[in-house]
Amino acid sequence: MNSEDVNGLMETIKGYVVEYGLKVLIAIVVLLIGLRIIKAITNGMAKMMEKKDVDASLRPFLKSIIGAILKIMLFISVIQMVGVATTSFIAILGAAGLAVGLALSGTLQNFAGGVVILILKPFKVGDWIDAQGHSGTVNEIQIFFTILKTPDNKTVILPNGPLSTGSMVNYSTEEHRRVDMEFGIGYTDDIDKTKATLMKLIEADERIFKDPAPVVVLAALADSSVNFKVRVWSEAGDYWGIYFDFHEKVKKTSTNGCTRSQFVKTKKITVL
């Protein structure tokens, strides 16, 4: 390479520096200032949502989504300031997004499900739910998954897509619940004394509501037992305490001069 070629190359580089150097410098400054402004905006929104009592599960999601949108807009503006044709850039970005979307359709479905759950709030952190064949306390609601904790401390991760479109039971929505139980006695045992004894056990438990009134009815004449249904109402948090305590009390109770094993648990009835 001779001296003329070197001089020509240097002139070309100098021309690019003069033409684009100032633009790049301004773009960098705008980028740095823009990132600071976006951070201030998202932090301000987070504080505003906290003051407005927006659901705690929804706040980080909205903050991250708004922050991502603002950063994309800032990035496109900075690219345009440098002189890059944003039309072709956006077209390439859109095509790439479409390809990624098709490849990750299941993940996007979970993303959409997470948005639906966070906005419509069919359940919240701390609720006890039964969904997708699993039961547990909602420990965390993420944008793609919902995490449950079971009573034996197992972690269950449920994808939000099926969770948002499938059936689900939320046991924590209502303050009160009905406890349904079923007990059996022999065919030779006294029915009236059995009902009276069950009502006495109900009246002795202060956790059981008087209104709605407790119900004790003869429900079925089974092959080897006469079955009674017991239905009582209580605070939702007292459900399992009443259920287990009542079965123990029934086992310890004797009626009609029979042994304490006269009452036998036949089966558990689904809670309505």
- pLDDT confidence tier of residue 148, bands split at 50, 70 and 90: very high
Q: Is the pLDDT of residue 87 over 70?
A: no
Question: What CATH architecture applies to the domain 3-103?
Answer: Orthogonal Bundle (1.10)
Instruction: For residues 138 and 148, give the distance between their C-alpha atoms in angstroms, rounded to a whole number.
Output: 5
- pLDDT confidence tier of residue 150, bands split at 50, 70 and 90: very high
Q: What are the extents of the domains in the chain?
A: 3-103, 124-170, 176-265
* Sheet arrangement for strand 264-265: 215-221, 226-235, 176-185, 264-265
pLDDT, mean of residues 17-44: 82
Q: What is the pLDDT of residue 260?
A: 37
Lowest mean pLDDT, pick from 7-11, 79-83, 153-157, 211-215: 7-11
Helix (H) or strand (E) segment spanning residue 158: strand 155-159
- pLDDT confidence tier of residue 195, bands split at 50, 70 and 90: very high
Q: What is the pLDDT of residue 30?
A: 87
Instruction: For residues 185 and 191, give the distance between their C-alpha atoms in angstroms, rounded to a whole number.
Output: 8
The SS3 of residue 157 is strand
Q: What is the pLDDT of residue 56?
A: 67
pTM over 0.75: no
- β-bridge pairing 226-235 and 264-265: unpaired
pLDDT, mean of residues 156-184: 91
- pLDDT confidence tier of residue 18, bands split at 50, 70 and 90: low
Give the residue from 201, 182, 183, 212 showing the smallest Cα distance to 246.
Answer: 201
Burial status of residue 95 (CB atoms within 10 A of its CB: 0-12, 13-18, 19 or more):
exposed
Go through the chain and tell me how many residues it has: 272
Lowest mean pLDDT, pick from 53-57, 97-101, 110-114, 185-189: 97-101
User: Which is higher by pLDDT, 251 or 270?
Assistant: 251
Give the residue from 172, 130, 135 showing the smallest Cα distance to 150.
Answer: 135
Question: What CATH architecture applies to the domain 176-265?
Answer: 2-Layer Sandwich (3.30)
User: Which is higher by pLDDT, 106 or 39?
Assistant: 39
Please check whether the domain covering 124-170 is classified as CATH 3.10.20.30.
no
158 bridge partner residues: 146
Asked if residue 159 has a cis previous peptide bond (ω within 30° of 0), the answer is no
**Considering the chain, what percentage of its residues have pLDDT values greater than 70?**
74
- pLDDT confidence tier of residue 158, bands split at 50, 70 and 90: very high
Average pLDDT over all residues of the chain: 80
Who contacts 263 (Cβ-Cβ below 8 Å, separation ≥6)?
Answer: 183, 184, 185, 250, 251, 253, 255
Q: Is the pLDDT of residue 256 over 50?
A: no
Q: Is the pLDDT of residue 124 over 80?
A: yes
